[in-house]
Copies of this chain bind each other. A is one copy, B any other.
Amino acid sequence: MMSVSFEEALLSILALAHEPDERNILLPDALSEVTSKDVVADRNIPPFNRSAMDGYAVRWTGNEEARAFGIIGTLNPGGTWSGDAGEADCIKIMTGARVPAAFDTVIPVEHAEETTDGKVLFLEKAIAGQHIAWEGEDAKQGDILVPRGTILRTRHIASLAAVGKWEVTVYSRPSISVLATGGELMEPWERASGAFIRNSNAHFLLSSLKKTGFTQVEYLGIAKDNREEITTKIRAGLSSDLLLITGGVSEGDIDIVPDCLRACGVEKAVHKIAVKPGKPIYAGRSENGGVVIALPGSPVAVMVHFQMVVLPFLRKTSGAADFLPRPVWLPLAADAKNKGERKKFALGKIETVGSSSRVVEIPSRGSGDFVSASRADGVIEIPMGARLLPAGTHVRFYPVF
């Protein structure tokens, strides 16, 4: 069976994403959610001429250090002061307070000395307009601060709070079911001996979904390698927006997951990709619109492709404008090889020597080796057909784990 390129497969899988609905949430729940409307400035930012220092507000003449100034008022943040001021009048003003219309320059307290008779001397020349953050200089009322389709990070939470977005309109998120298949699997809370191993894939996926903000998640447990059990669990999972399966997707007699999916009315979109690990990845859509992504049972393939395939799909389905993982290009610490005719995603980490960061491939004994994977903090992309990449070659590194 022909396999397609990784990019071609990814595009086919992304095409399965549906348009999300909207919902309203409160700001404390907004982290990792995706905005469905532009968030705009409700006022100019800053909303007034704001003192950027603790000091004295004056009307600039260029001769501030020539004489003593009278202190005709004091202004704290949130306070107001209105009145007229002569050329040698000033007010004490604190950082964050609105500079009254009568003044245009702030002289910091470090450059001033109050006299015993209640006046103040300025010790340095002032620059006209200094130490004031001017109304609207950061943004104008109506400017877009956080565009529609933004995955909200903590930095955006600050902006939303500042413009009074306590209620935030975001895209709804997909519901997800997770199913592990494999006759050799036991759960972490069960004893595993003989020919049995413990199911790590499902628990990796559950924690990865939690980390990336997906909360409508149902765990369907383990289906042993028999048609009836797998089919029953697939039917249960197809009511979710995404059914995520591990194991049972390659070519052996017992890789019956694609067969069972067909029997459940799922139409295949992708099966077999020219990528290592992850060749047997399957994706399709059921009659009711539910999407299925089935990953191989090997832990490294699951870890890599949650990041490279599943998360991009989930982010697109959540309305995110930037749904693809973003690589950093860094030099290789040592030669890298890719013998096969498949794109390779190698386990890697960033290592810094002196003032140079480079990526180091973590030796792995194959896609079953979760021990090596636990030392990786990302994935190195090694292009198809690149037999040898010499040390120093810049490669894409995805800091994802």
Binding site for B on A (CB under 8 A): 27-28, 30-31, 41, 43, 45-48, 50, 52, 54-55, 74, 76-80, 92, 94-98, 109-110, 133, 137-139, 145-146, 153-166, 182-185, 187-204, 206-208, 210-211, 224-225, 247, 250-255, 297, 299, 302-303, 326-330, 350, 352, 355-357, 365-366, 368-374, 376-377, 394, 399, 401
- Copy number in the complex reads 2
CA distance A253 to B109 in the complex (A): 10
Cβ distance A322 to chain B, nearest Cβ, rounded Å: 11
B195 near A158 with CB under 8 A, answer no
A328 lies within 8 A of B299 (CB): no
Indicate if the CB atoms of B138 and A77 lie closer than 8 Å: no
Q: Are B357 and A47 in contact (CB under 8 A)?
A: no
| Cα A138 to Cα B47 with chains together (Å) | 60
Instruction: Jot down 27 A-B pairs with beta carbons below 8 A, ordered by A.
Output: A27-B203, A31-B211, A43-B193, A52-B368, A54-B254, A54-B255, A77-B183, A77-B184, A78-B184, A78-B195, A78-B196, A78-B224, A94-B225, A94-B255, A95-B297, A96-B184, A96-B297, A110-B251, A145-B371, A154-B211, A155-B303, A155-B373, A155-B374, A158-B302, A161-B188, A161-B198, A326-B350
Interface of A is mostly: loop
Q: Write the nearest CB–CB distance from A135 to chain B, whole angstroms.
A: 12
Question: Residues of B contacting A185 with CB < 8 Å?
Answer: 77-78
> How far, in Å, is A260 (CB) from chain B's closest CB?
16
- Given A31-B207, A95-B250, A204-B154, do A198 and B48 touch, yes or no (CB 8 Å)? no
| Chain B residues whose C-beta falls within 8 Å of the C-beta of A158 in the assembled complex | 200-201, 203-204, 299, 302-303, 370, 373-374
